[in-house]
Amino acid sequence: MADVAHTDGHHDVHESTGIDNRKLGMWVFLSSEFMFFGALISNYMLFKGRDYSAFVPAGQSVILPRELYDIPFTSVSSFVLLMSSLTMVLAHDALASGDQNRTRVWLAATGLLGSVFIGGQVFEFTEFVQQGMTLSTNPAASAFFVLTGFHGAHVFLGILMLLSLYGISKRQGGLTESQGLNVELVGLYWHFVDIIWIVIFTIVYLIP
């Protein structure tokens, strides 16, 4: 099928699949992210149950991530991230109905909930370090910090994108149709970060 190009008043949109190429690109990117997080989750699963007594001086006990997990705390964090997916989809819905004010409110709420999640992760990491588990304590601890740290970095990047959309909308008094697609793309990214956490929460925290 030949490339189709049309204009939305601001720039050309190219599509040969009937799907905007930016949207297609985002879905392909998210699909590739499964490989990235799959590697980190596998890494954690590989190292979580091994014997690390050789890593500690005689007489000291091995500190493993799962001995330090605070499940009630992490459950609340998971709930917060799940609810941020709700506010994100409500932002997209508000924009689709042309309500710019409500879009900004939901974008801000999503960023706020994401910040609460990141704050929880910083608190969790700080607690673990204070209890003696650092990035270099043993391979299981290292795998845990790398996995959850990279996920946190993704959330942080998502918050920056949300703040950008909020700032643009505030400055212009609303988002154009083209910028509206950006809300959808950021939303896809945000929901993806959420589904990765769904997997991490189950495999890393809940299953022994």
Partner 1 sequence: MAEEHALAHPTPRQYVQIAVLLAILTAIEVALYYLEQSIDAFTTSIAAPLLILLAVMKFVIVVGWFMHLRYEKSLLSKFFTTGFVAAMVLYVAVLFALGAVVLL
Residues contributing to the site for partner 1 (CB under 8 A):
17-19, 23-24, 27-28, 30-35, 37-39, 41-42, 45-46, 49, 71-72, 75, 78-79, 82-83, 85-86, 88-90, 93, 96, 187-188, 191-192, 194-195, 198-199, 201-203, 205-208
Nearer to partner 1, 90 or 129 (CB): 90
- Rounded-to-integer distance, Cα 68 and Cα 86, Å: 30
Nearer to partner 1, 80 or 129 (CB): 80
The answer to whether 193 and 151 are in contact (CB under 8 A) is yes
Q: For residue 9, with 0-12 CB atoms within 10 Å meaning exposed, 13-18 middle and 19 or more buried, which class applies? A: exposed
**Residue 201, token pair as written in the block:** 């929460």
Least spacing, CB of residue 20 vs partner 1, in Å? 11
Burial 145-162, CB ≥16 within 10 A → b, else e: bebbeebbebbeebbebb
Least spacing, CB of residue 86 vs partner 1, in Å? 4
Q: Which of 25, 26, 19 is nearest to 192 (CA)?
A: 26
Least spacing, CB of residue 203 vs partner 1, in Å? 8
Instruction: List % helix, strand, coil for the chain (3-state, nearest 5).
Output: 75, 5, 20
Least spacing, CB of residue 5 vs partner 1, in Å? 19
Nearer to partner 1, 83 or 135 (CB): 83
Nearer to partner 1, 13 or 199 (CB): 199
Q: Which of 154, 182, 151 is nearest to 169 (CA)?
A: 182
Least spacing, CB of residue 80 vs partner 1, in Å? 11
Nearer to partner 1, 86 or 129 (CB): 86
